[in-house]
């Protein structure tokens, strides 16, 4: 059963404000969102320190760069105020995460839905930024879909996948490390420079590769791992685990987003079917950095007992296994298999031919045009600004959107569908139930999360367990019940009668 989503921490720049102001500014942006929403977030049951490997860590690591901007004299805010959490009528979550407005898409069960809702998140973040800018005394807020401030700090674009609990974690780890280290060949967003040492003149294919130091851990903010071991399934923990992927880049390209998620979902399906990766990298953490920085585009990785092997060939091992075992399973699978093969062929033959679909190639072409037209080197100090402008989500200012409007980027969705997704959840996942409850009963919501909604009616309260709505049939039945009830009182009475309570 496919179920996946993307969480994007957006970079912000606020006129007249410095880095130390961005936490409060991010909260202000989230609060300014003009659309219908509900809160607070229901934190009970969440535990980011729970590890898939069977233990519970005492504390999470925090980036010392971020700690420089903490205000020790300020009284800590309650988590509800700190995060400024909102759940939207499309089933998504919008909140402040360490000084970044973060948009987490609703759960999706198709690649097209996911791409569309990821793009809807850009528009929602932009709408909130414009609303904040219009407030009296506020400075102009710009929103960027990227992963670095170019001064040593990184912020994430995370993916979540529902997968079967019965797959041993050791097999998940060994299966994913070579895949994640090489996936940046098509999932990378492109980046000027190397961090944290500030080396200029190097164009990397990934924005996030610089920031990983571990193969596996529960951390996300510091000492980041290629395979995150956080165990928060947001579903029945006896049956499911949520694979929380933090090693991906923020993609502007619709095609790159779909290919990144589609290939990862197929690899997880292979692991669920009992397939095991036939190789191991000598150092996956070093491999992702070497691949990202390789200016020759040979992308050689050191494989245990095999020596150097092209990253494209490592990806082909996964593709071959998926073609053999998964072909014909459905439209998303067949699209992914076809485009995965086409992309690997092009990467091997002429990687720069992929400028109409891969972010790192499209961005490189823009930077190369500037270097050539201005007669400057790749260490020119203006290039990081062009890099940043590529991810500006404002269609009137972003360089990616200039390419899209010129017809130079492949699209999978369209503007009308994106506009609709700002207010409509995917119809066949539990996000539709969450969104419908927000739309109908926002004022009665006392807490809300991915799999719980607390509804209050006077002195009474009732918790909706959204784990019951993991099938399209259950979702359809719940939506019918919500829409048919004239009031919350009627809805709760009918619900209790149908549940025999």
Tokens of residue 50, six digits = 């729970």
Token pair for residue 10? 């957006």
Torsion angle, alpha carbons of 267, 271, 274, 276, to 10? 80
Complete DSSP assignment for 37-91 = EE--B--TT--TTEETTTEE-S-----HHHHTT--TTSPPPPHHHHHT-EEETTS
- Which of 51, 63, 85, 97 is catalytic? The answer is 97
Q: Say how far apart CA 16 and CA 24 lie, in whole Å.
A: 14
Sequence-distant (≥ 6) Cβ neighbours of residue 243 within 8 angstroms: 160, 161, 163, 172, 268
Nearest alpha-carbon partner for 430 in 495, 490, 479, 494: 479
Could you identify the residue written with the tokens 């991810």? 391
Residue 97 a catalytic site member: yes
Determine the 3-state secondary structure of 357 from DSSP.
Answer: coil
* DSSP, residue by residue, 272-315: HTT---S--BS-HHHHHHHHHH-TTS--EEEETTTEEEEHHHHH
How far CA 214 is from CA of 52, 211, 277, 284, in Å, comes to: 16, 10, 20, 9
Among 266, 317, 276, CA closest to 163: 266
Helices marked H in 160-296: 169-187, 254-272, 284-293
For residues 350 and 298, the answer to whether their CB atoms sit within 8 Å is no
Tracing tokens 């509800």 back to the chain, one arrives at: 80
Residues with Cβ < 8 Å from 477, sequence gap 6 or more? none
Which residue bears the tokens 């700190």?
A: 82
- Residue whose tokens read 């080197």: 377
Tokens of 115: 């791409």
Cα separation of 340 and 344, whole Å? 6
Cα Rg of the chain, angstroms: 22
Q: Which residues are catalytic?
A: 97
């Amino acid at each position: 059963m496919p179920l996946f989503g993307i969480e994007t921490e957006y970079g912000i720049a606020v006129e007249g404000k410095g880095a130390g102001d961005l936490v409060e500014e991010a909260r202000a942006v989230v609060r300014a969102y003009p659309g219908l929403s509900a809160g607070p977030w229901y934190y009970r049951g969440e535990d980011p320190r729970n590890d898939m490997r069977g233990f519970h860590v005492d504390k999470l690591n925090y980036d010392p760069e971020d700690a420089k901007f903490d205000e020790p004299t300020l009284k800590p805010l309650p988590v509800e105020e700190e995060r400024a959490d909102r759940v939207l009528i499309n089933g998504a979550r919008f909140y402040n995460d360490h000084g970044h407005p973060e948009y987490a898409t609703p759960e999706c069960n198709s690649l097209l839905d996911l791409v569309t809702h990821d793009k809807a998140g850009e528009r929602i973040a932009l709408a909130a930024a414009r609303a904040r800018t219009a407030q009296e005394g506020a400075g102009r807020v710009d929103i960027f879909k990227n992963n670095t401030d170019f001064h040593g700090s990184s912020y994430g674009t995370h993916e979540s996948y529902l997968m079967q609990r019965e797959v041993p974690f050791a097999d998940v780890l060994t299966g994913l490390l070579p895949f994640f280290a090489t996936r940046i060949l098509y999932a990378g967003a492109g980046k000027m420079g190397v961090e944290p040492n500030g080396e200029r003149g190097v164009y990397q294919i990934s924005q996030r590769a610089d920031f990983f130091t571990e193969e596996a851990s529960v951390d996300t903010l510091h000492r980041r791992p290629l395979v995150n071991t956080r165990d928060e399934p947001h579903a029945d923990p006896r049956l499911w685990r949520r694979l929380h992927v933090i090693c991906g880049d923020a993609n502007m390209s619709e095609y790159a987003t779909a290919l990144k998620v589609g290939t990862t979902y197929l690899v997880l399906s292979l692991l669920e079917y009992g397939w095991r990766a036939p190789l191991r990298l000598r150092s996956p953490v070093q491999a992702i950095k070497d691949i990202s920085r390789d200016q020759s585009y040979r992308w050689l990785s050191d494989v245990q007992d095999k020596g150097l092997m092209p990253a494209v060939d490592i990806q082909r091992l996964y593709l071959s296994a998926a073609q053999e075992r998964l072909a014909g399973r459905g439209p998303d699978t067949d699209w992914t298999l076809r485009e995965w093969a086409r992309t690997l062929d092009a990467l091997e033959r002429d990687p720069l031919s992929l400028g109409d679909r891969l972010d790192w190639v499209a961005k490189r072409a823009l930077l190369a045009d500037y270097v050539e037209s201005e007669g400057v080197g790749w260490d020119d100090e203006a290039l990081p600004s062009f890099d940043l402008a590529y991810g500006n989500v404002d269609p009137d200012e972003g360089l990616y959107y200039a390419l899209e409007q010129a017809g130079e980027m492949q699209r999978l969705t369209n503007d009308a569908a994106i506009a609709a997704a700002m207010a409509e959840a995917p119809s066949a996942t539990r996000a539709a139930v969450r969104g419908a409850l927000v739309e109908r009963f926002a004022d009665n919501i006392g807490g809300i999360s991915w799999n719980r909604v607390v509804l209050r009616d006077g002195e009474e309260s009732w918790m909706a367990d959204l784990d019951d709505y993991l099938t399209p049939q259950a979702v359809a039945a719940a939506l019918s019940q919500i829409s048919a009830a004239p009031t919350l009182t009627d809805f709760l009475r009918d619900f209790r009668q149908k549940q025999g309570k």
